[in-house]
């Protein structure tokens, strides 16, 4: 039997392993959440009208499916149904596509007053929406539409893999032949940080009956993809990658950049929940070794996956520290504990670019505290 928390019901708490008290851990989790959602100067959550709210990408002044679905997962984990419902209602009202080739998907970016900035979706939003909704259905129970959470989640997943059968001109978010998630529905390549095998294991239990086998295969395929898309020496993944794992140049020459940082965090959570492929921890060991041996904490660049620096700073250095620490849930190397210590001492980011860093900060904090729970 696997030793993951899905099987054992025991969530690893790496802060406690370092001797940090439950009181300190709980205070840090609550203080971080309160800052991100309620602090007048530093929050990224804003309420609109009497029953909606949004997560603002403070660097771009918009609301994105990434952040909206992240906010739903955060508030689910913190048992804040009131905020969860506000975020979900905003998403269904302003982001959900009711017609056209994207019917059933969510526009990836809207203005803070709800006007769509783009029509197309970003698949990482859909997978987080679905998982957060399934958990909400189990934690709080399904209500009336659109708060019939589990039904909404199953509908999202149906579109994700059957869109070409549902609407004319539609493209699915997963490739039907290799079971890989795509960067966007129309593209024959992927984003390694979108691969969440731990979610797909649960989708295989909760999705429509006819799709459960697909999600089982997707979980296995994504673990394999992480091996081929992360560099064998540095452990770095490219922001975008071909289906064979080689880096894909898209918007810039950078390879290990903002999206890429999530890979270590995802490997960590997969290990905490399922621990089905312990060799994925080797990727995190290499990544932690690269940064510990070749950089100064917090002083990072954009890199190739070989670790060659560009003459450009990392836009989200706090996210690198947070996610490398979360990867310690899978790591076994000599730097494992030091990353957790460094992250514990790291404050939230302030200022215009705080949104992405602090989202990954809070997820990493929950993971390392043993508080990122499965509800099924």
Task: Work out the number of other CB atoms within 10 angstroms of the CB of residue 295.
Answer: 17
Structure tokens at 343: 């992250």
Instruction: Return contacts of 48-53, CB within 8 angstroms, 24+ apart.
Output: 48/90, 48/112, 48/113, 48/114, 51/85, 51/86, 51/89, 52/86, 52/87, 52/89, 52/90, 52/93, 53/83, 53/86, 53/87, 53/90
Whether 66 is catalytic: yes
Q: Clarify whether 209 is annotated catalytic.
A: no
Which of 259, 277, 282, 357 is catalytic? The answer is 259
Catalytic site residue from 57, 66, 127, 357: 66
Among all residues, which ones are annotated catalytic? 66, 259
């Amino acid at each position: 039997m696997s030793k993951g928390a899905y099987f054992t019901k025991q969530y690893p708490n790496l802060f406690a392993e370092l001797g940090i008290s439950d009181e300190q851990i709980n205070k840090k989790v609550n203080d971080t959440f309160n800052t991100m959602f309620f602090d007048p100067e530093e929050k990224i959550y804003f309420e609109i009208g009497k029953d909606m709210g949004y997560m603002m990408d403070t660097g771009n002044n918009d609301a994105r499916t990434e952040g909206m679905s992240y906010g739903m997962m955060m508030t689910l984990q913190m048992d804040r149904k009131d905020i969860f419902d506000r975020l979900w209602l905003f998403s269904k009202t302003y982001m959900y596509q009711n017609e056209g080739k994207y019917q059933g998907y969510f526009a990836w970016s809207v203005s803070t007053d709800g006007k769509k900035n783009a029509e197309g979706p970003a698949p990482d939003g859909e997978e987080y929406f679905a998982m957060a909704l399934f958990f909400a259905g189990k934690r709080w129970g399904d209500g009336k539409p659109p708060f019939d959470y589990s039904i909404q989640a199953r509908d999202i997943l149906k579109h994700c893999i059957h869109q070409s059968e549902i609407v004319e001109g539609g493209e699915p978010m997963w490739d039907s032949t290799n079971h890989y998630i795509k960067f966007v529905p129309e593209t024959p390549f992927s984003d390694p940080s979108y691969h969440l095998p731990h979610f797909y294991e649960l989708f295989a239990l909760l999705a429509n009956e006819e799709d459960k086998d697909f999600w089982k295969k997707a979980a296995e395929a994504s673990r394999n993809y992480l091996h081929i898309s992360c560099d064998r020496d540095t452990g770095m993944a490219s922001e975008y990658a071909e289906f064979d794992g080689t880096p894909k140049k898209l918007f810039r020459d950078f390879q290990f950049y903002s999206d890429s940082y999530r890979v270590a965090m995802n490997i960590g959570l997969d290990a905490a929940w399922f621990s089905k492929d312990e060799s994925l921890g080797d990727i995190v060991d290499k990544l932690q070794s690269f940064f510990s041996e070749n950089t100064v904490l917090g002083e990072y660049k954009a890199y190739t996956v070989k670790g060659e620096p560009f003459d450009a700073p990392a836009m989200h250095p706090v996210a690198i520290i947070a996610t490398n620490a979360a990867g310690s849930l899978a790591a076994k190397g000599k730097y494992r504990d030091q990353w957790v210590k460094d992250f514990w001492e790291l404050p939230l980011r302030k200022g215009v670019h705080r949104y992405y860093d602090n989202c990954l900060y809070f997820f990493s904090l929950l993971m390392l505290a043993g508080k990122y729970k499965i509800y099924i």
